[in-house]
A = this chain, B = another copy of it.
């Protein structure tokens, strides 16, 4: 029988090749806009136009309008009555609202993860801690983008261990919504002097290593509260 032989041959070929996938243009546009939003590349209140983004991304309007629609349903962008779309503005209420939701859901996710992470996964997280120190060592040039990316990887690496296919997309949605706010806070941070993010991350890792769900939750809440509290004070004083 040749059948089994052919099958085997195909499998060996498949093992050699890296899947190229079949990502649509729309998906790429969507991912790119997500990245920009989480990274805070767009400012609150900034209005986005379909044709403008299409030009910037070198595609037609079709994939962009679809991506924008998706981001609007996630509340990452806001559809105004004029039918224009903008990055949602920052308000005090919104900041508190986002922080509460993030504490609740990300707290639950990390509590679940604490009881489920295996030593290998913990080691992986710990390694990221080292990477952080390394970056900090050569801090002649503080690279905010790299910091943000590393921070994101650290958190989601943990969340992925919670084993919930429902919670994780909600957390992504929350990051998407708080991205523009956070970036504002981070910039303010840099000006106001360094704050040791690594310290907070270390206490998170310590709690996870001990499988202490409650401690992990508290350490996480402390970590994510920081930029929000900072931003809150900044807005509060700006109002006076």
Q: Which residues in A have some Cβ–Cβ distance to B below 8 Å?
A: 22, 26, 65-66, 69-70, 72-75, 81, 93-94, 97-98, 100-101, 104-105, 108, 164-167, 169-170, 173-174, 177
Q: Bound complex: CA of A170 vs CA of B69, how far in Å?
A: 17
A-B interface, 5 closest residue pairs, ranked by CB to CB distance from nearest: A70-B73, A101-B166, A97-B166, A97-B164, A66-B69
Please give the distance in Å from A230's CB to the nearest CB on chain B. Answer: 19
Q: Bound complex: CA of A66 vs CA of B70, how far in Å?
A: 8
Q: Bound complex: CA of A69 vs CA of B177, how far in Å?
A: 19
Please give the distance in Å from A166's CB to the nearest CB on chain B. Answer: 5
Q: Bound complex: CA of A105 vs CA of B93, how far in Å?
A: 18
Instruction: Name A94's contact: one of B105, B165, B173, B177 (CB within 8 Å).
Output: B165
Chain B residues within an 8 Å CB radius of A65: 66
Chain B residues within an 8 Å CB radius of A69: 26, 66, 69-70
Q: Bound complex: CA of A177 vs CA of B173, how far in Å?
A: 15
A98 touching B66, Cβ below 8 Å? no
Please give the distance in Å from A113's CB to the nearest CB on chain B. Answer: 14
Chain B residues within an 8 Å CB radius of A81: 22
Please give the distance in Å from A171's CB to the nearest CB on chain B. Answer: 10
Please give the distance in Å from A39's CB to the nearest CB on chain B. Answer: 19
